[in-house]
Chain A
Amino acid sequence: MSPEISDKVKRQVEDILSRYPRREAALLPVLHCLQKERGFLSPEEEQWVAERLGIKPVKVREVVTFYTMFRRQPAGKYHLQVCSNLSCWLAGGDSLLDYLESRLGIKTGETTADGRFTLSQVECLGGCDEAPCLMVNLDYHTGLDRDKLDRLLGELD
């Protein structure tokens, strides 16, 4: 089955491939590009990427399952990724996670029923100077407390 890949994405993939000395080296950027469209990577998309790059499908699967940023299931519209490492924890990161769980009514790793929010715990994001921090999709939000978090969620709603 051929996946629905938009002409826009196909053009972006061609552009990426043109910049790499070897096609297989473009695998991570190509996967980022596809995932940006729908928020996850389907088996059909993996297959398409394998064919386009001239590598075995299992090589694509190996990579998709190794790196934490690649998803094989859809995420919510807003993927909240809370840093759980030491510097953020020292600044109250875990209580932010608890607060988000209770406010969204989900456990870490789950998605809200309306498909708006997915909540994850991640390792150090390199935002330690303004801990605690989290990422909403790929945007950093730092120096968080409950008030700031409430405002942030309000802006996302």
Chain B
Amino acid sequence: MPERLLTKDFELDGLSRIETYLARGGYRSAVKALKDMSPPAVLEEMKKANLRGRGGAGFPAGVKWGFIPARTDKLKYLCVNADEGEPGTFKDRYLMSHNPHLLLEGMIITSYCVGIHEAFIYVRGEYEAVAQRLEQAVAEATARGYLGSHVAGTEFRLDVHVHRGAGAYICGEETALLESLEGKRGYPRLKPPFPASVGLFQCPTVINNVETLCNIPFIILHGAEAFTGRGLPRDGGTRIFGVSGPVNRPGCYELPVGTPLREIIFRQAGGMKDGKKLKAVIPGGLSAPVLREDEIDVPMDCESLSAAGSMLGSGAIIVIDQATSMLQVLVKMAKFYAHESCGQCTPCRIGTSWIDKIVRRLALGQGREGDVEDIKRLALNIKGRTLCPLGDAAALPILALIAKFRSELET
């Protein structure tokens, strides 16, 4: 088994409790940052580590923090994106329910580095049990002095709030998340300004994904070189790959960035179930363009996936077998984006619902001449013409599915 940085103690009972976390060396990294390092030194280390965001976009966390204005009269906020809604993705649930203190420790280091004293964890509404576990962890950390007015006995102050969403995929988009946190509909904002300058309550705001933050304690404790020495040099560390679909062992696998997709499916996840044959793989959550069976010898890192015409996204791997109809996959896809489009931008609002309508017709065997071309035209009209990435997230996987499996759609 490759070395695990985030999940190494996950088999332990009671890791979610602070006693166990402390006994395993927890909060040592936060103490090191607060007592032995200056905020610029933490930022320097983070930039060196080049930790790429684990939520979907892959943007380096240190660079993102660097955009926060150094001098400002405004408060600054940290928002943790725990609105895990990308279909096929369950890694953040896994991390938060097993080890909520790891997330809190990453949040402490981030907040100290950027000068933040108030942080929110935006958890998707359905994860009520996870939210309760986080609340408990916040209470434990506060009682032990790792949160509150004197973090780890220093003058640094940090309050953490757990905030539940209420069922809207779009709130995983960072500006929609901010709107939602302000008590509004989750409508993405026009950018720029970016959240680093105008974020929550119009204040400079850092937004990072759960898994991204969970990597920070390792980087600070062991140094950026230890991190970049694992995985790939420019895309270091590990990723938590969530595998679902007809494999023998679906689940989360923490593996070095750059592990080949085929190895994850056939070695880690135990290969295909019941002698089924592999047909296609969605490598980074539903929005990642599909790969054919002959395209899965690809290393799982942001750049390799992008070169293969797809994206690493959330690292959620959905495996599809030969017996599965790609038309039915398209039905699921089209329905999802039509349901989750927030309705703000016309190409996405109208485009996703028309695509959904046409795909349903195809699935009923009532397809008309030119239907597939119409779907393509609608998808191309969404792509690049919306305020937020949901437009592309809907268009690109649909276009890829048409390009690679067109014959299955037209019968």
Would you call A129 and B180 a contact (CB within 8 A)?
no
Taking CB atoms, residues of chain A closer than 8 Å to B318 are 86-87, 90, 128
- Indicate if A32 sits at the interface (CB-CB under 8 A): yes
Contact A86 B333 (CB under 8 A): yes
Give the residues in chain A near B244, CB-CB below 8 Å.
Answer: 87, 90, 128-129, 131
Interface of B is mostly: mixed
Could you tell me the distance in whole angstroms from the C-beta of B119 to the nearest C-beta in chain A? 12
> A126 contacts B339, CB within 8 Å?
no
Closest residue on chain B to residue A128 by CB atoms: B244
CA distance A70 to B185 in the complex (A): 12
Minimum CB–CB distance for B377 against chain A, Å? 24
**Quick check: is A116 within 8 A (CB to CB) of the other chain?**
no
Chain B residues with Cβ below 8 Å from A20 are 161
**A22: chain B residues within 8 A (beta carbon):** 182, 201
Contact assessment for B168 and A67 in the assembled complex, using a CB-CB cutoff below 8 Å: yes
A126 touching B166, Cβ below 8 Å: no
**Interface range for A:** 35 or more
Give the residue of B88, B180, B201, B319 whose beta carbon is less than 8 angstroms from that of A28: B180
Closest B residue to A125 using CB positions: B126
Given A19-B161, A89-B332: A126 in contact with B182 (beta carbons within 8 A): no
Q: How large is the interface on B (under 10, 10 to 19, 20 to 34, 35 or more residues)?
A: 35 or more
Report which residue of A19, A26, A66, A138 has the largest number of chain B beta carbons within 10 angstroms of its beta carbon: A66
B168, A129: Cβ atoms closer than 8 Å = no
Judge whether B127 is part of the interface by a CB distance below 8 angstroms: yes
Asked if residues A124 and B166 are in contact (CB atoms below 8 Å), the reply is: no
Kindly list chain B residues whose C-beta atoms are within 8 Å of the C-beta of A84. 332, 335
Q: Is the CB of A31 within 8 A of B166?
A: yes
User: Within 8 Å of chain A (Cβ to Cβ): is B252?
Assistant: yes
Query: What is the CA–CA distance of A60 and B89 in the complex, to the nearest angstrom?
Result: 30
Q: Which of B183, B244, B320, B321 has the most CB of A within 10 A?
A: B183
Which residues of A lie under 8 Å from residue B44 when comparing CB positions? none
A62 within 8 A of B: yes
Contacting pair B336 A85 (CB below 8 A): yes
Do A129 and B169 touch (CB < 8 A)?
Answer: no
23 A-B pairs whose Cβ atoms sit less than 8 Å apart in the complex: A21-B201, A28-B125, A28-B165, A28-B183, A59-B184, A66-B342, A68-B168, A69-B166, A69-B167, A86-B88, A87-B245, A90-B324, A126-B84, A126-B90, A126-B92, A128-B88, A128-B89, A128-B90, A128-B242, A128-B244, A128-B316, A129-B250, A139-B129
In the complex, the 9 A-B pairs of residues with the closest C-beta atoms, listed nearest first = A27-B183, A67-B166, A68-B167, A128-B244, A69-B167, A124-B87, A87-B244, A24-B183, A66-B185
**A interface with B by C-beta (< 8 Å):** 19-22, 24-29, 31-32, 53, 55, 59, 62-63, 66-70, 84-87, 89-91, 122-131, 135, 138-140
